[in-house]
Amino acid sequence: MTEYVIETEQLSKSYKDKAALRGLDLRVPTGSIFGFLGRNGAGKTTTIKTLMGLLHADSGSARVFGLPASDANSAVAIRRRIGFVTEDKELYPYMTVEEIIRFTRAFFPAWRDDLERRYVEMFDLPLKRRITELSKGMRSKLMLLLAICRGADLLILDEPTDGLDPAAIEDVLRELVSIAATNGTTMFFSSHQLSEVDLVADHIGIIDRGKMVATGSLDDIKARYQHLRVVLDDARQAPVRWGDGVESARQEGRVVTLLVSRNAEAIAAQAQELPGAVVERYPVTLKEIFLEHVRSN
Amino acid sequence: MLWYKGWLETRYRLLFCIGWATVFLALVHPAHTTPMPLGAKGSVFSVVMLSCPMVVLVGCAMLGGSGVVTQPTLQAAKGLHGSTLYTLSLPVSRVRLLAVRASVGWLEIIGLVSLLCVSLWVLAPALRTVATPLQVVKYAATIIACGSMLYGVSVLLATFLDDQWRTWGAMGIGVGLWWLCGYAKVPEATNIFRAMREGSPLMAHAMPWGAMGFSVAMGVALVIAAAKVVQAREY
Amino acid sequence: MLFRVNASSGVPLYLQLMEQVKHAVETGALRESDQLPTIRKVAEDLVMNPNTVVRAYRELEHEGVLELRHGAGAFIKGASESRARLIRKAQTAMDATIERALQMGLSEDELQRIFASGMAKADERRGAAAGTERRR
């Protein structure tokens, strides 16, 4: 089993006039739940399509299960072990729910009948109804069923909870967590729901304008990032330059708020040196880390 | 299951083609009582000569497919995706997707033409007086062979157009070829439409091997081109 | 479900979970030799990453609060039970003192300040006894 189930190196891809990926380095550890975060248009879907073999990258490499994603034969071998949920959740309108389940099942010998029964009931999927007549939320749930029941080693989910109501989102996340806990399936999913990613992911990657701007274990990232609030005796004593690791510094009167991405100790010491300074530390949420990275570039 | 999917995609269209063919069969009916000289207008022959190529043309346009691009998206603004992404995420090579879907359509066309010829034989006693069963079989084979090229066009278009655009596109090209064969100076060996009418076994009592060969070769070439397109294309 | 975590509080989830377990032991919700819910159950109930639960359980094992028996699960250790008993005893003693102080007419803030300075003095005494200096 390879250490990284997904690995890209300097992946680049341009469309006509727009550069969608500009040297993307992505590493997804096997068995992790990896949250792939980024604004709309940052390159999330392009990355996913390249991994699935739907697009050919201009330069750089992408490997899934250690196999090159660009080679047609290994791409088929890769897809045998992957469950995929697309961004627009579109399926064959002329098939019924039952038919598409039967159709998909034929390609995967390791199909989980038990999970199929479970999800048909849990998601309340109408077996005889045609897919054109399903709402987007229903289609999302159906796609999840089709992805999970394959018994895949890796699930690639592009906005899996998009279009679902909060109760359904809860159900879906619980199932994903359960599968990760039971089978050790790796999950690579993109999402805009940062609070969910915070709970469920153990690794994250933030992509902005085609590049990876922050990646790693979520615990590490949150440990490194800190808010430092420095209360000074005199507003004019605030240093013009802070040490290495300060992502942003905002000052309001005598209070300076720093967002630090590393070397928190050193920065806190630097702040402590200032006359009469009172330094307090606060933890940083994933949302704050995300916004900091996608705005400042 | 890919065969099943192909069937689900095309069954209603096949039904439509059969319905279209029925229209021509209805025209044959009044013509059967009047024995007329070969080739005379209004004779059973002329009806047959008109209907079969037309049915094949419509059939090819409607039943061709690449197995990859099918439905127009529910949100057309996003571009040509729809269920294509789902299909391409399955552990099947693109060439196989194309091969199965193209085969499904082709088998349906063979079935359609055979059905049409058998029906003509049954419904038009006048036909039975001037032609032998073997000639009708040869005729069916001619139609099928000459239709290959039209089918190839349809499959190639299907690799980058969705169903609606592809159908109209293939029809348009088919009609264009018909016109070309009828009014322009086209060498006998490539005139597929002539081969389906005056040059056919029913009229000329000889197989138009030249045109048949040309059509089949073109058909194969177009399908191979379609396979290349499907492999290289980005979705 | 015994435990609750808050993703937006900023406090690492595994720490929150550890606190929850310790709190459960203190209040008697979990007793010596009780089996904790499986990692999978906790992850499912709280909809959180299973590795986070694993980490919390491991740290708790490190601290001696529970022991992980291979193949069987996680069980509360005896030593923590006596610790919890101690804590409950101290709580009872404190409750009496607090009640008396409030009856004397002291406000909550004053009471908190008294406690803080009392702790500081105790620190000082222990620091002086050990011969070390502590910078305020």
Find residues 13-72 of chain B whose CB sits inside 8 Å of chain A: 70-71
CA–CA gap between residue B225 and residue B205 (Å, rounded): 35
Mean pLDDT computed over A107-126: 93
> Residue A133 gets which letter from DSSP?
G
Quickly list H helices, chain A.
44-51, 72-79, 97-105, 113-122, 136-148, 166-183, 194-200, 218-224, 264-273, 286-296
pLDDT given at position C64: 85
Q: Of the given ranges (A166-175, A183-192, A219-228, B120-129), which has the lowest mean pLDDT?
A: B120-129
- Chain A hits for C55, CB-CB cut-off 8 Å, are 219
Whether C and A touch, i.e. at least 3 CB pairs below 8 A, reads as yes
Query: Is residue B126 pLDDT above 80, yes or no?
Result: no
pTM of the model: 0.79
CA–CA gap between residue B45 and residue B31 (Å, rounded): 9
pLDDT given at position C110: 87
pLDDT given at position A201: 93
Q: 């290495």: which residue's tokens?
A: A244
Q: Which of C39, C51, C54 to mutate to test the interface with A (most CBs of A within 10 A)?
A: C51
Mean pLDDT computed over A226-233: 86
Q: Which of A77, A93, A103 lies closest to B1 in CB terms? A: A103
- Digit-coded pLDDT (tens) for B180-194: 887 877 777 777 777
Q: Which of A45, A74, A88, A159 to mutate to test the interface with B (most CBs of B within 10 A)?
A: A88
CB contact under 8 A, A199 and C40: no
pLDDT given at position C71: 81
The values of phi and psi at residue A214, to 5°, are -160, 135
For residue C49, which amino acid is it?
Answer: N
pLDDT given at position B199: 65
Q: Which of A56, A77, A90 lies closest to B83 in CB terms? A: A90
CB contact under 8 A, C52 and A173: no
Tell me which chain A residue has its CA closest to the CA of residue B78: A88
Q: Which of B7, B81, B83 to mutate to test the interface with A (most CBs of A within 10 A)?
A: B83
Query: Is A289's Cβ below 8 Å from some Cβ in C?
Result: no
Tell me which chain A residue has its CA closest to the CA of residue C55: A219
Q: Which of B78, B89, B97, B164 to mutate to test the interface with A (most CBs of A within 10 A)?
A: B89
Better-predicted residue by pLDDT, B124 or A257:
A257
Q: Which of A180, A283, A287 lies closest to C11 in CB terms? A: A283
Long-range contacts of B171-175 (CB under 8 A, 24+ apart): B171/B57, B171/B58, B171/B61, B174/B57, B174/B60, B174/B61, B174/B150, B175/B57
- Chains sharing 3 or more CB pairs under 8 A with chain B: A
Task: Please give the order of strands across the beta sheet that includes A154-158.
Answer: A82-85, A154-158, A186-190, A33-38, A203-208, A211-217
Mean pLDDT computed over A267-292: 85
Structure tokens at B186: 């086209």
Query: Is A223's Cβ below 8 Å from some Cβ in C?
Result: yes
Closest CA–CA distance from residue A268 to any residue of chain B (Å): 49
Looking at the DSSP bridge assignments, the partners of residue A281 are A228
CB contact under 8 A, C7 and A223: no
Q: Where does the pLDDT of residue B224 fall: very low under 50, low under 70, confident under 90, or very high at 90 and above?
A: very high
Better-predicted residue by pLDDT, B45 or B157:
B157
Tell me which chain C residue has its CA closest to the CA of residue A35: C49
Q: For residue A90, which of C122, C124, B88 has the smallest C-alpha distance?
A: B88
CA–CA gap between residue A59 and residue A124 (Å, rounded): 44
Long-range contacts of A67-73 (CB under 8 A, 24+ apart): A72/B93, A72/B94, A72/B231, A73/B93
Query: How many CB atoms sit inside 10 A of residue A219's CB?
Result: 17
Query: Is A282's Cβ below 8 Å from some Cβ in C?
Result: yes
pLDDT given at position C135: 45
Q: For residue A92, which of A82, A103, A84 has the smallest C-alpha distance?
A: A103
Closest CA–CA distance from residue C44 to any residue of chain A (Å): 5
- Digit-coded pLDDT (tens) for A40-98: 889 998 999 999 888 889 999 999 999 999 888 899 999 999 999 988 888 888 899 99
CB contact under 8 A, B89 and A72: no
> Residue B81 gets which letter from DSSP?
-
Q: Where does the pLDDT of residue C85 fall: very low under 50, low under 70, confident under 90, or very high at 90 and above?
A: confident
Q: Which of B73, B75, B90 lies closest to A79 in CB terms? A: B90
Structure tokens at A250: 């905002």
Domain count, chain B: 1
Distance (Å) of CA A98 to CA A130, A138, A145, A283, B71: 9, 14, 12, 48, 19
Whether B and C touch, i.e. at least 3 CB pairs below 8 A, reads as no
Q: Where does the pLDDT of residue B75 fall: very low under 50, low under 70, confident under 90, or very high at 90 and above?
A: very low
- Digit-coded pLDDT (tens) for B6-63: 888 888 889 988 888 887 777 666 655 555 555 555 566 666 777 788 888 888 888 8
Q: What kind of architecture, by CATH, is found in domain A4-220?
A: 3-Layer(aba) Sandwich (3.40)
Q: 């239709």: which residue's tokens?
A: B147
Instruction: Count residue pairs from A and B with Cβ separation < 8 A.
Output: 74
- Chain B hits for A91, CB-CB cut-off 8 Å, are 83, 86
Q: Average pLDDT, whole number, for chain A?
A: 89
Between vectors from CA A174 to CA A169 and to CA A179, what angle results, nearest 5°?
A: 130
CB contact under 8 A, C7 and A178: no
Find residues 90-129 of chain B whose CB sits inside 8 Å of chain A: 90-94
pLDDT given at position B79: 43
CA–CA gap between residue A105 and residue A154 (Å, rounded): 17
Query: Is B233's Cβ below 8 Å from some Cβ in A?
Result: no
pLDDT given at position C24: 86
Pairing mode of beta strands A255-260, A154-158: unpaired
Query: How many CB atoms sit inside 10 A of residue A1's CB?
Result: 9
Query: Is residue A128 pLDDT above 50, yes or no?
Result: yes
Q: Where does the pLDDT of residue C80 fall: very low under 50, low under 70, confident under 90, or very high at 90 and above?
A: low
CB contact under 8 A, A79 and B85: no
Query: Is residue A293 pLDDT above 80, yes or no?
Result: yes
Query: Is B79's Cβ below 8 Å from some Cβ in A?
Result: no
Closest CA–CA distance from residue A21 to any residue of chain B (Å): 15
- Chain C hits for A199, CB-CB cut-off 8 Å, are 5, 7, 13, 46-49
The values of phi and psi at residue A34, to 5°, are -110, 120
Secondary structure of residue B72 in the 3-state scheme: coil
Closest CA–CA distance from residue A104 to any residue of chain B (Å): 8
- Chain A hits for B71, CB-CB cut-off 8 Å, are 90, 92-93
Share of chain A above pLDDT 70, in %: 99
CATH of domain A225-296: 3.30.70
> What is the location of CATH 3.30.70 in chain A?
225-296
> What is the location of CATH 3.40.50.300 in chain A?
4-220
Query: Is residue A174 pLDDT above 60, yes or no?
Result: yes
Query: Is residue A272 pLDDT above 60, yes or no?
Result: yes
ipTM associated with this complex: 0.83
